[in-house]
Structure 1
Amino acid sequence: MKIGKGRNAFLKLNEINESYREIVLKGQEVTEGAKVLVQVKKDASGKKGPQVTAQIGIADRFVVVFPFKKVVGVSRKIENRLERRRLRSLAIDLRKRYGIGVIIRTAAEGVEEEEIVKNFQEAMNKWNEVLQKFRRSRKPKLLYEEDPIEQIVKEKVNSKIDRLIYNEKSILSTLEKYVQTLPKRPELVYTEGDLFEKYFIYDRLKQLLSRTVPLKSGGNIVIDRTEALTVIDVNSESYTDAENQEELALKTNLEAIEEIIRQLILRNIGGIVVVDFIKQRDPKNYEKILERFKELAKKDGTKIEVFGFTNLGLLEMTRKRTTRPLDAFLFTRCPVCGGTGKVISQKVLLKRIKEDLKKLREFDEVTLKLHPNMSGYFKKEDVKRLEREFKVKISLDYTWNDPNSYELSAKTKKGGK
């Protein structure tokens, strides 16, 4: 379906229920060319366009409202039974009064009912604005987009955070709006300058985007991401005592789990993930690894499903993908390697150069422009050997910027090209 962007979006028609038809389509069925209201469910990825849904959900600090559903729920992360009962009772009351679905979010734990109802009204106001804009629109357009600052504060700030540091005074009102509803309010600190530089965030980003991540034990994990899936390999260099190999392997594997979960969150990796842990002889150790992985996966705000080990000993899991991973925001495809991370080997390139030198006739001098990484293949003795073999004077110039190619220019005895 057309959404006013370069790529079309994908919508499952079975998501359009009776409530949606009445409010959006005025009782009509979906036909070609019909104007429909959708929400982006997953961002575009690679050559795929975004995935959209007709089941609109307007999320705010404490609630998510669903105009076309009758669902009622409380976040699973709220474990206290009395608190869950209190919040569920409130959600049921709101659904009865307004006839729409209501989910109470984790941030609502311990918050006064009055504040939650107030937040519900704000979410409803947003929904009504979206609906009015949709009815006035005549062509595909963006109707609503969350403010990035609001989204970060709303999703990430909670009573466990002691301090919020900001460097733009214009966002203070937004910060105050959200923190004043928390049972424990974090301190707001204004600091001038580049906060990323002051708190070494740039250095941490560089480490974060590294393919290899070290572990405290001396081992490491290697992360390779493709469009289809992400593969994580756990390695250890701690095998010094043959009798303790099994114990050391288990220790490294358990340590790796915590870092793997951390990297999935920080890098925003979604989709299929396969983990190759260090091999264990005792089947009970695989059970310990699986149990620990599932336990730590609960700390992730994004849904993770752990399916267990395959016959080859690989752990299979999926992590819900909604937005692009971190590296997609920070990097672009390399114009040299085309995103493969590889360039032609120097030996292959040298062979091509020799083949081109063989083709030369009636030339006694050539200039060869090369990438600097070829310098090790053209020492003085190597150049003299080529000159004798092809009976030509060779001048080298290491200013060529493409490691996959070279430039060969020849001169005749008279100095002409």
Structure 2
Amino acid sequence: MKQIYIDFGITQNRFLEIIDGKINNLYVDNLDDGNYSGNIYKARVDYVDEKLKSAFIDIGINRNAIMQLGNLKIRKGDEFLVQVKSDSEGEKGPKVTSELTFPGKNLILLPGEKIVKISKKIENREEIDKLCELGSMLVKRGYGIIFRNTAASKEKDCLIEEFEELIIKWEKIKKQAEYAKAPSLLFNQRDFLNYIFTELIYEYDSVYIKDFIYIEGLKEYIDLNRLQINTLEYVERSIYDILMKNHTLDGVKITIDEVEAFTIFDVNSGDNKNTSHSFFEINNKAAAKIFELIKLRNIGGIIFIDFIDMHYDDKKKLLQLFQEEFKNDTVPNKVYGWTKLGVLEAMRAKKGKKLKDLIYSNYYKEIYNPNYALKLIEDYIFENAKKFNKNSFEVVSSAEIANLSDKIEFEKKIKNKYKVDLKLKTHNDIQNFKFI
């Protein structure tokens, strides 16, 4: 049973996928949080650093993007198309590339290329040969192609139709780029519905939303007969559970520390008096849970895992199992192995914001991201306006939350959407917000 929860909001949208009662996927999209990964821009070169072999590129956001030059010859003032490879982190701007990809559900278009690539997850030789043959025919149109994992189960005509649709969409973007003034956004990979139905949703048994007012936007994506209304409290509870610092599994404690440079998982047996063989079983279960948390929290960069100490043969076996687990990840990754200190080291590409940064401005002090805070305020109004027949609400909040509210005219949007008045005031002693 595959259940999909789609939770819309003024400042934050969420998607949750449950398969047979277990969380399989979570995606959070903030209105004002610099999530640019996959976006395509007409950009302008601001500065070229020959020593670093890098260029600083203006894509129209509050900081320059960074691009490795390679063999590319460019000068200040040059304008061309770039795509964001990874989002900004800390003081660093996003990383961009001039090698563009245009994603579809079952394949990816490669403008400017004439190559055929096939997902490594497709292992059946017959399927690979079939897709190679089809790809060789399609690239004659002047575009390269990557067949995604899902392409293996699709009919030839379905893939050809999708390929043609992607070309039409891409040609429109190219035409738009001719007249657009740099810097400007040409393709928003993070458009919420387009993203989740292209990248995350492949099939479903039922879809839950919290109100029928959202049906119009979903018509082109889902079978409305499978649509149901739900309070979506499960989404909020799931986010809270996933972001806990400590997780307990069969008496074993898993502690997570996410800092800018790396993330470390610490597996602790507590007072458990198990043998080394039992430690392997515990570590194996912990490894599965850790992989789940890495995926759901969207952790990228360097990852260290301090497992319970084991014999050499068990460590070798656990490494192989962990590598197999990581093969199921859609995000590029590499498991390096055990360090001299006995800690497992891995790397996962940074794709979009970490979940903790979408929910908190300061995770350890529990200071909410303003987008998340306004989503909570909106949800409270939605739940209580009709229940208690209220037509006005008053909130005091931190300056950061109030600033975002003013910037996006949040009070006006609440009025238009829910037909109630909201008055939001700043208070210096409030860490997040409270209703009064």
TM-score scaled by structure 2? 0.67
Instruction: Give the Cα–Cα distance (whole angstroms) in 2 for the partners of residues 33 and 66 of structure 1.
Output: 26
Q: 2:278 aligns with which of 245, 248, 260?
A: 248
Q: 1:234 aligns with which of 232, 242, 267?
A: 267
The answer to whether the aligner puts 1:202 opposite 2:239 as a matched pair is no
Count of residues in correspondence between the two structures: 312
Q: 2:343 aligns with which of 314, 320, 331?
A: 314
Q: State the SS of the aligned residue for 1:233.
A: strand
Equivalences for residues 13-412 of structure 1 within 5 A: 13-14=69-70, 16=72, 30-95=74-139, 97-146=140-189, 147-159=191-203, 161-167=204-210, 168-176=214-222, 189-194=226-231, 196-197=232-233, 200-215=234-249, 217-237=250-270, 239-240=272-273, 244-280=274-310, 282-333=311-362
Instruction: Give the Cα–Cα distance (whole angstroms) in 2 for the partners of residues 265 and 78 of structure 1.
Output: 21
In the TM superposition, what is the alpha-carbon distance from 1:237 to its structure 2 partner?
A: 2.9
In the TM superposition, what is the alpha-carbon distance from 1:334 to its structure 2 partner?
A: 7.2
Q: Deviations over 1:20-68 (max 9, x none)?
A: xxxxxxxxx5221111210111111111111011001001111111112
In the TM superposition, what is the alpha-carbon distance from 1:337 to its structure 2 partner?
A: 9.6
Instruction: Give the Cα–Cα distance (whole angstroms) in 2 for the partners of residues 235 and 327 of structure 1.
Output: 23
Instruction: Give the Cα–Cα distance (whole angstroms) in 2 for the partners of residues 143 and 78 of structure 1.
Output: 32
- Aligned residues: CA RMSD: 2.4
CA contact (8 A) 2:65 2:93 kept: yes
In the TM superposition, what is the alpha-carbon distance from 1:126 to its structure 2 partner?
A: 2.0
Quick one: structure 1 residues 335 and 108, their matched pair in 2 at CA, closer, same or farther if it must change by over 3 Å? closer
Question: AA paired with 2:65?
Answer: A
Quick one: structure 1 residues 32 and 336, their matched pair in 2 at CA, closer, same or farther if it must change by over 3 Å? same
TM-score scaled by structure 1? 0.70
Tell me which moved more, 163-172 or 100-109: 163-172
Match of 1:372 in 2: none
Instruction: Give the Cα–Cα distance (whole angstroms) in 1 for the partners of residues 276 and 253 of structure 2.
Output: 17
Higher strand share: 2
In the TM superposition, what is the alpha-carbon distance from 1:338 to its structure 2 partner?
A: 9.4
Q: Deviations over 1:254-291 (max 9, x none)?
A: 110000100000000001001101111x2101011101
Q: State the SS of the aligned residue for 1:203.
A: helix
Runs of 4+ in structure 1 off by over 6 angstroms are: 334-339
Q: Deviations over 1:96-152 (max 9, x none)?
A: x21221111112122111111111112112211221121112231111113311211
In the TM superposition, what is the alpha-carbon distance from 1:158 to its structure 2 partner?
A: 2.6
Instruction: Give the Cα–Cα distance (whole angstroms) in 2 for the partners of residues 144 and 402 of structure 1.
Output: 39
CA contact (8 A) 2:208 2:230 kept: no
Quick one: structure 1 residues 334 and 213, their matched pair in 2 at CA, closer, same or farther if it must change by over 3 Å? closer
Match of 2:402 in 1: none
CA contact (8 A) 1:239 1:245 kept: no
In the TM superposition, what is the alpha-carbon distance from 1:325 to its structure 2 partner?
A: 0.6
Question: AA paired with 1:8?
Answer: N
In the TM superposition, what is the alpha-carbon distance from 1:303 to its structure 2 partner?
A: 1.8
Quick one: structure 1 residues 319 and 402, their matched pair in 2 at CA, closer, same or farther if it must change by over 3 Å? same
CA contact (8 A) 2:357 2:363 kept: no
Question: AA paired with 1:172?
Answer: L
CA contact (8 A) 1:238 1:248 kept: no
CA contact (8 A) 2:361 2:367 kept: no
